[in-house]
Structure 1
Amino acid sequence: MSDALINGLAGAGGGIIAQLITYPLQTVNTRQQTDRDPKKNNKSLGTFQQMCQVVKHEGWERLYGGLTPSLVGTATSQGVYYYFYQIFRNRAETAALEKKMLGNGDGSVGMFSSLIVAALSGCVNVLLTNPIWLVVTRMQTHKKESKRTIPDPRLSDATEQKLLSTVEPHAYGTSHVIQEVYDESGVLGFWKGVLPTLVMVSNPSIQFMLYETLLAKLKKRSATNTVSALQIFLLGAIAKLGATVVTYPLLVVKARLQARQVKNGDKRHHYKGTRDAIFKMIRYEGINGFYKGMGTKIVQSVLAAAVLFMVKEELVKQTRFLLGKNVPNTLKP
């Protein structure tokens, strides 16, 4: 089994575990990002309160809306990313060693090269998995509706509200979302939001650049040139925090484009493309609109990244051990 395949499978496993742990936070965050009411910028409920509201009015299952395609997307996304990352990384290391033999450099992959490797891996990942994440976004932002629109005077207000908030007119599953997207825009509709998502590859690029830089410094300070699982956890959290703060506005734009848009609704909330979405958000919501739900995202993404890095590194180490491969001193993401 190649080193790239080991890292790809380990990345998929780590991503699934991280997704299962943090998914309710992700669902709430997607709803915050796609909330287009500018009046809620300063009056929105906290993350925990919003989770309670979803459970109260829609049930526990709505916190896990789209979980199945999300797990498929996570496994595919992390697997593809780490597989190609390791391939590009190996080539970068080979090129660095060749330069060293020619008397140029110390044989290590520089920060800029690490950034390019992560960016290339991210672009391949985005182009292959964007349709999956579009379906996940639709399912996360879907809210239960009612068949009945006329109140029944025989029922109390509380009973009426409970019925209105829990009756589903139809099953909103993966197949329904796929058909809905296809009916709206055809095959190309599955790549809505791909432009800001491609720009978003700078997020993992920044993340891995910070991660590798901090990892190298830690190893230099270590007598055994190794790092613990806890240190990997903390490094992953710090790296993801820095990347998220820088790129969050793009994430909000992507979510707005991928969420379901009501054609006959408010024109301010209907986006024709990335540029139109950015201009309308600035005009009607201000700069604050680009940072809706950022607190929730930081908690969710930092926790998920920390768990992913820790689990992935352990899986790589154990897989190499089981296959009888020598575990290198340098842990590679």
Structure 2
Amino acid sequence: MSDALINGLAGAGGGIIAQLITYPLQTVNTRQQTERGLKKEKSKLGTIEQMLQVIKHEGWERLYGGLAPSLVGTAASQGVYYYFYQIFRNKAEAAALERRKLGVGDGSVGMLSSLVVAALSGCVNVLFTNPIWVVVTRMQTYKKNLKKSESGPELSTAQDEAVLAAAEPPPFGTTHAIQEVYDEAGVLGFWRGVFPTLIMVSNPSMQFMLYETMLKKLKQRRALSKKDNSGVTALEIFLLGALAKLGATVMTYPLLVVKSRLQAKQVTTGDKRHHYKGTSDAILKMIRYEGLYGFYKGMGTKIVQSVLAAAVLFMIKEELVKGARFLLTNKVKSKPP
């Protein structure tokens, strides 16, 4: 099994576990990002309060709206990303060694090369998986009608229950979201928001650049230390992943908001402030009607969700890679000569 495949599978596994743990925060954050409002009009509810409101009015299952396609998207995204990352990384390392033979550099991959490797991997990932995330965004931002207790007096008969149940909209599943996107914009609708998403490749690029730089320095410090320490612990990987994601998220969050606005259901009638024709139109309308605050809606929630998810992902991925390499090494050793 190739090193690229091991990293791809480990990345997919770590991504799925991180997604399961942090998904309710992701749902609330997507709703915060897609809220339309005037300048200085801020949500009075915090993240926990919004989660409780969703549970009260729509049911706890809405916090997991779009979970199935999201897990598919996470597995695909992390698998594709890590697979191509390792391939491009191997090429970069080989090129660095060749330059060293020519007397240029020390044979290691520098920060700029790491950034390019991460960016190329991210672009491939975006082009492959953008349709999945459009569907996930639609399902996360779909809102059910209020529960029965919110709509009027308590029901007294089974007939009243049946009438009210009939008035409820059908469950909004993956096929409904796919059909809605297709009816709205055809096949190209599944690539809505791809432009800001491609620009947002800088987020994981920065994340991996920061992560690998910090990891490299930590390993160098360990090597120089007199203490007997064989490597980096899972807790240290967790903390490095969290710090790397924090820095990348703060720098690129406005692009994430624009992407979510474009991928959410578009309002084609009524207030034109809420309808976006494209990336530039969305940016201009957000600046005009919401100010700079609009680009940072829900950033606190996103920082908690993304930092936690990234830290869990890095920790689990590294442990899975170590485990896979250990098993493969023992398997090779156990074979008779």
The verdict on a shared fold, with TM-score over 0.5 as the criterion, is yes
Taking a change above 3 Å as real, the CA distance of residues 90 and 263 of structure 1, as seen in their structure-2 partners, is: same
In the other structure, the counterpart of 1:284 is 289
User: Which whole-Å CA distance do the structure 2 matches of 1:191 and 1:24 have between them?
Assistant: 24
Matched, 1:240 2:240: no
Q: How does 1:67-146 map to 2 (within 5 A)?
A: 67-145=67-145
Structure 1 counterpart of 2:305, from 300, 307, 310: 300
Q: Is the 8 A contact 1:41 1:288 kept in 2?
A: no
User: Which whole-Å CA distance do the structure 1 matches of 2:140 and 2:154 have between them?
Assistant: 34
The one-letter code sitting in structure 2 at the alignment partner of 1:186 is: G
In the other structure, the counterpart of 2:5 is 5
Shift of 1:39: 6.3
User: Which whole-Å CA distance do the structure 1 matches of 2:154 and 2:234 have between them?
Assistant: 61
Q: Is the 8 A contact 1:147 1:167 kept in 2?
A: no
User: Which whole-Å CA distance do the structure 2 matches of 1:154 and 1:56 have between them?
Assistant: 16
User: Which whole-Å CA distance do the structure 2 matches of 1:154 and 1:85 have between them?
Assistant: 57
In the other structure, the counterpart of 2:279 is 274
Matched, 1:230 2:238: no
Cα displacement string for residues 230-286 of structure 1 (whole angstroms, at most 9, x for unaligned residues)? 000000000000000000000000000000012113110000000000000000000
User: Which whole-Å CA distance do the structure 2 matches of 1:61 and 1:145 have between them?
Assistant: 14
Shift of 1:165: 11
In the other structure, the counterpart of 1:62 is 62
User: Which whole-Å CA distance do the structure 2 matches of 1:249 and 1:228 have between them?
Assistant: 34
Shift of 1:44: 2.7
Q: How does 1:108-257 map to 2 (within 5 A)?
A: 108-145=108-145, 168-223=168-223, 224=229, 226-257=231-262
Q: Is the 8 A contact 1:77 1:125 kept in 2?
A: yes
User: Which whole-Å CA distance do the structure 2 matches of 1:71 and 1:267 have between them?
Assistant: 34
Length-normalised TM-score, structure 2: 0.90
Cα displacement string for residues 135-157 of structure 1 (whole angstroms, at most 9, x for unaligned residues)? 00000000003799xx778869x
Shift of 1:42: 3.2
The one-letter code sitting in structure 2 at the alignment partner of 1:54 is: V
Q: Is the 8 A contact 1:41 1:289 kept in 2?
A: no
Identity of aligned residues (%): 78
SS in 2 for 1:275: helix
Cα displacement string for residues 7-59 of structure 1 (whole angstroms, at most 9, x for unaligned residues)? 00000000000000000000000000000023674343100010000000000
The one-letter code sitting in structure 2 at the alignment partner of 1:319 is: A
SS in 1 for 2:329: coil
User: Which whole-Å CA distance do the structure 1 matches of 2:75 and 2:153 have between them?
Assistant: 50
Q: Is the 8 A contact 2:206 2:248 kept in 1?
A: yes
Q: Is the 8 A contact 2:39 2:289 kept in 1?
A: no
Taking a change above 3 Å as real, the CA distance of residues 111 and 5 of structure 1, as seen in their structure-2 partners, is: same
Deviates more, 1:35-44 or 1:8-17: 35-44
SS in 2 for 1:226: coil
Taking a change above 3 Å as real, the CA distance of residues 183 and 96 of structure 1, as seen in their structure-2 partners, is: same
The one-letter code sitting in structure 1 at the alignment partner of 2:7 is: N
- What is the aligned length? 319
Larger radius of gyration: 2
SS in 2 for 1:218: helix
The one-letter code sitting in structure 1 at the alignment partner of 2:264 is: A
Structure 2's unaligned 5+ residue stretches are 224-228, 332-337
Shift of 1:133: 0.3
In the other structure, the counterpart of 1:31 is 31
Q: Is the 8 A contact 1:58 1:143 kept in 2?
A: yes
Q: Is the 8 A contact 2:47 2:301 kept in 1?
A: yes
Taking a change above 3 Å as real, the CA distance of residues 70 and 168 of structure 1, as seen in their structure-2 partners, is: farther
Structure 2 counterpart of 1:263, from 262, 268, 283: 268
The one-letter code sitting in structure 1 at the alignment partner of 2:291 is: G
